[in-house]
Structure formats: structure tokens, C-alpha cells
Structure 1
Amino acid sequence: MSISSSADGLARTAVVFDLDGTLVDSEPNYFEAGRQLLAGVGVTDFDWQEHERYVGISTAETLAIWREKYGLATPLDELLDEKNRRYLELAEAGTHAYPQMRAFVERLHARGVPMAVASGSSRAAIDAILRGTGLDALLTTLVSAEEVPQGKPEPDVFLEAARRLGVEPADCVVLEDAAPGAVAAYKAGMRCIAIPYVAATADDPAFATAGLVFRGGQREFTAAAAYDWLAASRPAD
């Protein structure tokens, strides 16, 4: 597929967005859903600091870790259904899209740049969040970790996004807030713009592979800076 854009640096570029912590501030909802689920099985000391350990890891993989860590007897599929149910209730009540990310998506859409969302969240969660924020009108190519063999840090979701967009992985730029996602982008052979959600992870070696890092996270990210970098950046030949 030949990608065209009125900005020369975007002539061979597609953009793939992570969802949680990148496009939208959904981590508080994930934390609360997880806290409620664990409290229901007697784990009452789960706090935000512990939650940050799982940022960027798919829900299914997080729950698999919890089953072993907390000795949970409930089958994984039942835990997944319960976590997703609780999360969707919270997400549909209100999820905040980062204003500068929305501006960036709108600018790319106006330029005709192909875009996709590739997330560790369930497809139901992705649909609900994009619908609730109104971004569903601009972002229509979606990939959930449920639809590929392995979640991040493996590259499967990003490679599937490129396939669905009809572009080469090398022509894609990934936006990610978490180290596992930056690793996945690198493994996929894609460029990366990193916006660390957890400030303490900004020095993680995984982010060193990114072409552009907003070390201050969403407080530092601007649509103009990201767009200018894209316009000046080139895919590897």
C-alpha cells in the first residue's frame, strides 16, 4: 500500500496508538477494577504503587500473575470476565482522553495519515472507551491482545495493526506509555514515540529504543512536537 500525505515526512508513515495511558487516562479505572476484584477474594492491601507494576501488561497476563501471587483458585477466564465487567462499568461512567493526544489524532486524520489502536485491553473495553471519548469516528482500525497469540512485550498486536492497515511495519510509528509496549514496538521493527505514564520508568532501557521520548509524560507531550518529529522522521529503507 502506498501511503500519501501532504507533509513530505509523512509520505510513508502510519501511526499506531496504545490506548490505556497513551490516548486516554484509563489507568485509574483499571486500578479500581483490580482493587475491587482482589478485595472480593480477600486481598485488601492492593494499592496504586502495586498497580503501577502492571502498567503496559495485558489484563489476561496480569490476572495470570495474580492467580499465582495471591494463590487464587478462581479460573482465569472467570477472573477475566469479572475484571472486564468491573472495568467496563467504570470506563463507561467516564474516561478522559488527553487533550493533546486528541489534537494529535485530529491533525493526523486531517492529513490522511493511516492510524490504528493496538491495546492489551479487551475489544469490548477498546470499543467502549473510543465510543465514550468520540475518538471512534477517527480511529477505526483496532487490535486487542485478545485477537493475537501474545500480548506486549511481544510485537503481535503491532504487527497485526500494520497488517490490517496494509502497511509495512517499518513504516509505522507507535505511541506508547509503558516499557513493555516500547519493547514490542522495537521487536516489531517500528519507530516509537514514548510518553512514560509512570515517571520513574523514564530511564528504563526499553525507552532508549524510542526515537522520541517525552520524559515528563503527558504533562510534556504536545501534538505539535510529536507531529513535527513525525514530519522530520523517515522510515528505514
Structure 2
Amino acid sequence: MSTFGRTAVVLDLDGTLVDSEPNYYEASRALLADFTGREYTWADNEQYVGISSHETLALWKREYGIPASVAELLADLDRRYLELARARTPVYPEMRKLVERLHDAGVPMAVASGSSRAAIGAILAGTGLDAQLTTFVSAEEVPRGKPAPDVFLAAAALLGVEPADCVVFEDAAPGAAAAHAAGMRCVAIPYVAAHADDPAFAGAELLFRGGQEEFTAQAALDVLAAGRGR
């Protein structure tokens, strides 16, 4: 048995593994401008960090009376997003180091994201993370997005592991709440610093209040190896 025992790791993608939020912001801003003529600011965007694209678009459709279907809006958003993402989506260096170390140790890993399956696959391939992360699930494949636990439970099922043996890495409060609801441990790396005090992060096994600027692969590995709270 490895240093990490039965531990499996489930990773959020956007804002956790990769800094994709600027791309989602630009894609969302352009979509809303075209369909509604509304201005969309970065502060507006921060409200939707951690919420699936499907749920966000369903909300906008209702709130702004957009005539297109959610499926059509999702396809439109994905097209805009992928044009930007394929040009540049940086991987957080310490997260890449973490993934490589876990892969070398034989720790089962999966990506569970609110992005579409097409977007997840494109980002993993474009960043080279697909060499270590071959299992992934999108919120569009389960009945409910985060903060419901569905996508994390689906990831555990794909890996063939028990939820209690999983540690989730998350940047957003809805994801941390989803991990708790799934009965999984959580390492939290808030994308929005102001969200660090959100109650959803209170139960995290390890909370990097400073986000990715504070996160280190070694600190996360130490917690995974210890298998207990700090």
C-alpha cells in the first residue's frame, strides 16, 4: 500500500487546477452582451464561481428572458470559451506538481467539474494534464450540480472507491459544500479571497486562505498522507 493508503483524489477543474475563470468571464460577458445587451463585470462573474455553466445559464435565461434554450446557450458559451481556452489556459504550477506526485504514487484521481464534458476534455488535453488525469465527469452528466454532491459521487463511482476515502480539492464554496454532502474530505483553495470565510469552507481539512498564492503541493501531500484533520 502506498503512503496514501486507500485515499483517492477528486479535483475541481476551473479555478483549482487551471486559471480558467478569465476565459469564462470573457465568454460570459460576450454572450450576455449579444443576447441581452447587459454589461457584465468581473464582480458579477465572482457570484457564479463554483456554479455549473448549465445552472448559471438556466438562471440567466429565466432572469433576462433569453429566448434561446439552455442547451443552445451552453453550446454558444462553450464555443466562445474554447476559442479563448485553446489559446491560453495556465495550469497552477503547484497543482501540476501535486497531480504528478499523486500519479507517480498510484493514487486514483478524477476531475469533477461544472464545465461541460467537451470543455473539460479540451482543457485537460490542451494543458497536458490528460497524461495523468484520464477520468473525469461533468455536472451536465448528473441530475444536480454543486452544491449537491452528485458530481463527486459520480467521480467516486468511476474510480471504484468509497466516498469516505476521497479527498476533494476545491476553490469555491458550492464545491466545498458538495464535498461535505458527499461525505468526502476537502482541501480548499479559495479562488476569491473574500470567500475564505464562507461557512462552506469551515469544515475543510486544510484551507489555504490565500488561494493559489499560498497553496503548496507538499502541504497538501502531507495532509493526504496523514489521513486526518489538522
CA distance in 2, matches of 1:147, 1:63: 16
What is aligned with 1:167? 161
- TM-score w.r.t. the length of structure 2 is 0.97
Q: What residue in structure 2 maps to residue 47 of structure 1?
A: 41
Contact 2:36/2:64 (<8 A) preserved? no
* Identity between Structure 1 and Structure 2 (%): 70
SS in 2 for 1:97: coil
User: In the alignment, which residue of structure 1 is the partner of 2:86?
Assistant: 92
**Which residue, out of 144, 150, 158, partners 1:156?**
150
Paired with 1:163 and 1:23, the residues of 2 have a C-alpha distance of 21
Tell me, in whole angstroms, the C-alpha distance in 1 between the residues paired with 2:38 and 2:154: 38
Post-superposition shift, 1:117?
0.3
Which segments of 5 or more consecutive residues in structure 1 lack a partner in the other structure? none
Q: Any idea what SS the aligned residue of 1:209 has?
A: coil
**For 2:35 and 2:141, how far apart are their aligned partners in 1?**
29
Matched residues in 2 for 1:39 and 1:144: separation? Answer: 26
Q: Deviations over 1:188-225 (max 9, x none)?
A: 00000000000000000000011110000000000011
* SS of equivalent to 1:221: coil
C-alpha separation between the residues in 2 aligned to 1:83 and 1:146?
A: 14
Instruction: Report the Cα distance in structure 2 between the residues aligned to 1:28 and 1:161, rounded to whole angstroms.
Output: 26
Task: Determine the C-alpha separation between the residues in 2 that align with 1:212 and 1:143.
Answer: 24
Task: Show structure 1 runs of 4+ deviating over 3 A.
Answer: none
Report the Cα offset of residue 44 of structure 1. Answer: 3.3
Quote the residue 2:205 is aligned against. 211
Counterparts of 1:61-80 in structure 2, within 5 Å, are 61-80=55-74
1:226 to 207, 212, 220: 220
Deviates more, 1:162-171 or 1:38-47: 38-47
Larger mean CA deviation between 25-34 and 84-93 belongs to: 84-93
Structure 2 unaligned residues grouped into runs of 5+: none
Q: Is 1:21 aligned with 2:35?
A: no
Q: Give the partner amino acid of 1:96.
A: P
Aligned-residue CA RMSD (Å): 1.1
What is the 5 A alignment of 1:106-125?
106-125=100-119
Displacement after TM superposition at 1:67 (Å): 1.3
Match of 1:197 in 2: 191
Q: Distance in 1 between matches of 2:160 and 2:36?
A: 47
> Any conservation in 1 of the 2:36–2:66 contact (CA below 8 Å)?
no
Aligned AA (1:117): V
Counterpart residue number, 1:185: 179
1:121 offset after TM fit, Å? 0.5
Q: Counterparts of 1:51 and 1:230 in 2: how far apart (Å)?
A: 32
Offset, 1:43: 2.7
